[in-house]
Every structure is written in C-alpha cells, then in structure tokens.
Structure 1
Amino acid sequence: MTSIVTTVNPSDKSALKQFIALERRLMKNYPKYISEIDSDVVKVLTKKSIASKSLDIGLFLVSKDGEYVGRCAAIINKRFQEQKQPGSGFIGYFAAAENCAEEVKVMMKAAENWLSERGVKKVIAPANGGAPNSMGFLVSGFNEDPMFPFPWSPEYYPNYIEALDYKPTYPLWYYEIDFTSDKYKEAKQKYSSYDQATIRTISKKNWIKDLEIVADMLNETFVNEWEFTKMTHEEAKEFFGPMKDIFAPEQIIIAEANGKPVGFCLAMPDLTPLFRSFNGRIGLMAIFKLITQAKKFKRSGILGIGVSEGFRGKGLSKAIAMKVYAYHESLGMKSSLYFPVNESNKESRGFAESIGGQGQLTYQVYDKDL
C-alpha cells in the first residue's frame, strides 16, 4: 500500500471541489454528520471572505491505493499571530477515513512541513484558522446531534492526532441549563428584573448600527479568550449578515447604561436538522427553508455573553441570560445550552453552573511544538 500526498491549488476549481466534497464521501455512513456549506468553505479557502484575507493556506489530500482517504489545510492566521500567539499555525478542515493512521501521519507531516517552512513553531489542531471558524474533535456525545455550526466528528479522530504527539490543550465544554432546576429558578426570580442597565433585543431596523455595537462588545469582552481575534465592523456585517432574516431578535441582546453599550449576548436556534438536509449545498429552496423554518426550532443555546468590566460581578450577565432563556422557555423548551466554554474560563463555567448548568467536556483542541 502506497500513501501519496497531493497539494491542492485553491485556484483550481475542480481540485478544490474534490477537496471539499471528500469529507461528505468519507462521512456518508455516519448519520450525525453535518456538512459545512460548500460555498462558505470556498470563500475561506480562496480568501474571498473578508476575514480570510489575513490567512495563508496550504491544502493537502492523501490517497491510499489510488483513492483519497484524507484531507487537511495548513493555515497561518497573521492576525492571530499578532494578537495571540506569535509563531503559531493551524491545521484544520481535517477529514479522514477509518483505519488510515499511516496515511494521516504522512498527510499531517506534509502540512506541518508547510507550516514550518513559513516560520511556524507551534501547531494548533484541528482548527480552521481561529474563531469564529470551526474547531475541535468531538470527545463525547457521539450519538447526539451537535449544534450547527459546531461539527460532528467520529470517535477515531482523536486517536489519529494523539498518536502524532499532539497534546490536548484547549478543552471545550457544553453546558445544558435546566429550566426546572432550583438554581435556575432562583436566578430567574432574582435577575429577571434588573434596573442597572437597559436590556433590549437587537433592532432589525437599525441592524447595521447594532451589529457594530455587538462587534465592539465582542472585541472588548472576549479579548482573553485564546481563540478570539478582534473583529472589524465589516467582518461583523459579513458574519452576522445572514442572521437578520433567520434569527428572532430575542436571540441577540444588547445591554446599555447611560446611553453606552455595557453588555451583549448572542444565542442561536438549532439549525442542525436544516443544514443536514442541505448536505453542503444552499440554493434558493434552502434559503427559503432557512427563512421560513429557522424559527421552528426545538433546541437553542447561548454562544456567548459579555459585559463591560465595570458591570462584572453585578448580575448583568445573569440578567441578560434570563432574558434570552425566558424567550426559549416561551417556546416550550425545558432547557437550553450555554456553549462552547473554554475549560480555562473559570468565570464562564462558574456562571453556567450558578444558573443550573450541567457541564460536559465535548470538544478537544490540541497543539504540538514543531
């Protein structure tokens, strides 16, 4: 058996299409798998999206006996290097067939060499270039539906990367907030009325202005999250733009005091069933389904809450959460998620647990010194 690594030129449309489609072929027998949207992946890998313009990308395929069995992308995010970890790089867009450890080893080595040749000293994997892009291998909940856009991956993936001396470094937790728990009921009673700030939903009439507020709050409050780099207003418009016609205003919250933003929350509905049905392709019918069916979700969750330093420890984050979770309750839900939470973020983990959250280590991101 011979393992052959092929480098893919992102400008070669046919080769890029093959690279993107490979994951769907390898995962076709796994019912929990959800494909990313092909056009979104193309925008990143060809650097057509605003956020991807700071990326350098190398693409690799590996074959076994003439058939492709794996893919990955080596990624250098210049802004991540400048703002977070100098000399770091990523390996993402990983997919591999089972029982292909040798092929994965050869492919990963090619990606590592590509990064090393460009000055990278440490690799973070799997990660598609840093937040808000996808990252992590699933390490629990393999028989459960993930919350799109967070990925599903098979149980054998962690073994592949751990065998290559990658160390689990960035654990990500999911918390389920039980609306029937005593802690949640206590928080609801205490924080549903809050008089130190005005807590409102995003305005679709003033969508762009409010998106800029959300971006500024993200940049202020998520600065210490290892994976997060500052987002420009243009990036925010690109990232949040599709949400305008899909998300209910109650899923995006802004808190203000004395006319200034002091907090925000981004929640999202469970779009997993819809995106699984799209199978990577989004045309007019898929867009119609998103607009008409996205509000008919059975699960939801908070992706992030941030409050200004002067309001930390004053209950604002819980007041914001109660407003969002009250909306989820109004839809008949008995629980909701708070995810993903970095294991190192003791404040966020304590917050989730204080309102009745039960945590589970769900994803793992690894690193390796070159």
Structure 2
Amino acid sequence: MTRAGTVSEVFLAFLRLGVTSFGGPIAHLGYFRDDLVSRRRWMDDRAYADLVALCQFLPGPASSQVGFAMGLQRAGFLGAVAAFLAFTLPSAVLLVAFAAGASLFGGPVGDGILDGLKIVAVAIVAQAVWGMARSLTPDAPRAGVAVVAAALAIFAPGSVGQVGALAIGIVAGLVLLRGAAEQPGESLPSFGVSRAVGIGCLAVAALALVGLPVLAAATGSGVITLADAFFRSGALVFGGGHVVLPLLQAEVVQTGWVSPDAFLAGYGAAQAVPGPLFTFAAYLGSVSAVGPGGIVGAAVALAAIFLPGFLILVGVLPFWDALRERPWVRAAMRGANAAVVGILGAALYSPVFTTAVTGPGPFVLALVGFVLLTAFRIPAWIVVIVGAVGGVLLALV
C-alpha cells in the first residue's frame, strides 16, 4: 500500500469533503472515490469496493463508516476520529445554527444554489459509476451481476434492495467467478485492528444497546435517555441516509420530544447542507424537550447515533482482514464488488438523477460537471462551485 499518512492530512482531506459533499450517502461515496482513491491514491478501486460492500452490510451510516475506515487505515485510530470530525462537523454546525433560528437557505438565490448542488451530485455519482465499472466489471459475468443488482436496487428501493443486491452478487461470485482473474492493483490495505480490540468494541456496542435503556429508566437522566434513543437508532438502521428517518421519528416525534413541524423543518435543512444525513441528529438533540438541549444536546445526540456503527465496524474489521484473503471469499467479493457498481448505478438513476435533472438546463449543467470531472480532471470542490453558480443562473433565467 501507499505510505502511512498523518492525522492532520486526514483531517484536512475530510474537512474539504465535509464542506463540499452534497447529495446524500451515495454521492459521498463518489466524492470519496474521486478525491481519496483516484487523486490521492490512499487505496485502489478493489479495496475501496470491498470496504463499501462491507459497510453496506453493517448497521450504521454506510458512507461515514467508509470514511472512518479510510481514516483508520491511513493514520490509525486518531486518523479515524479526525475523518469523522472533519466530515461531520460542518453540517452539524449548520444544522444547530438552523435550530437556533439562523436559517441560511432561502429565497431564489438560495434555492438556485441548492438545485445546482443536487445537479453536481449527478456528475459526481456518474463519474464514480463509470470509473468503478471499468475496474470492477471487466468481463461479461461481472457486468451481468451489476445489471441484475441495479435492477433489484431500482425495483426494491431502500436497504432491502441494496442488501439483496449484495447477496445476489456474493452468490454469483461463488458460483460464477471462482476462476476470474483479479484486476491488477495495489495489495489490500490492513486496518491494523487486533482481534482483542475488535471483540471489545462489539462487546461495548452490545452492552450499550442493552444497558442504556436500563440505565435511563433507573436514573431518569435526560442525557442518558437522549443518548439511548439515538444510540438505538444508529444501531438498528442498515445503509444509513434516509433509512434512519422512520426510527428517528418514532424516537422523538411520537414521544413528543420534537414537534412534527420542527422535525420536518430540520429534515428539510438537512437536505440543504453537505455531509452525512445522520447529522440531522444534532438538530434534533438541540431542539429536543428531553435532555439538555442546545449545543450539549446536539453533541450527545450526534455522538450517540454515530457510535454504534463505528463500534461494529471496528469490531468486524480484524476478522474481515483475515477472511477476505481466502480464495472463496475473494470470489464472493468479486461478485459483491460488481453488485456495488450496480447499486451505485441504480442510485444514479433514483434518487440522484430523477430529483436533480428536471429539464434541459439541469441536464446540460450535469453534463458539464461530468465532463469537467472526467475529461478535464477538475477537482470535485471546484465542480461544486461551478454547479452552485450554474444553479443560481438557471433559477434567475
């Protein structure tokens, strides 16, 4: 693998991603690939697709788990924490500011910016699908797996379709791809997590899932009650993103902690900021009637909703390091990697393309962004600015 990095390098790389990565979890994976895989070469496409497939199978916010693992591989546990903080805090700060009444998104210019950023996500995801397809579906069987996975993900949206598509890819890999050649590339990275640490993280996650509600009931503490609600939401959702919304609604709206109007307003604001949708928890924690509220409530909710996914990921990684070098596992992952391409392709169609490209103007802007990324090799953050300006121009015209 490439040389080890530094914590500051990881923090700055993810901070830039944290302020420019619009468009939801699938778009985030595209941004990660463009900056960290294609440009910085922290890992190759094979290792990246392996990691994406693993995180899709685990509970928690998939794109944030991928970022956490890349920070871990690059600069150890401090690098993982740096990746999480840098990628998450920009949107969390904006949402807490929104909760305090400092809405930054409104009017025709603001709406145009948001529309332009959605259109940029089309170009980012299209680039990721194009690049990953070239390296991960080099033959007819794997291309076929990608098409089947895309069809399943389109017709069965949500985590059920994604997990089902990955399962089909794994079975196809075991049956059809045992003799397929590996694509040339770098060796698989090691995440440097011992089995003792992994088992400890899994034990902490299980203990917290069982113990927090008991502790909340025994103490009556608003802080622990708040942490329990968000920890449980983070531990029981697969795929992340919008899938967590029903769980959060059940925890904070149906219990009367947050009004339905406030919940919907915060959800709208969460669509308008970069970074992971799980930062919606910061908004909910700050306005919740249970817990300390404000910045402290936001910090408790934010930490609690991300923590279980990270604990489970770290718990699984040492066993994953050992398993994935076995021939039958490699065959299964060849199929799963092809399925990841199909899942990304399905997400490119819906919701990324269908919600952003609403006419000829948005289509042309998305095409411009794609060409800037692929032909001119313009960095993604510059394309984000171009998209925002283009969105404003389209709104004014």
TM-score by length of 1: 0.21
The structure whose residues are more often helix, as a share, is: 2
TM-score by length of 2: 0.20
Structure with higher RCO (Cα < 8 A, 6+ apart): 2
The structure whose residues are more often strand, as a share, is: 1
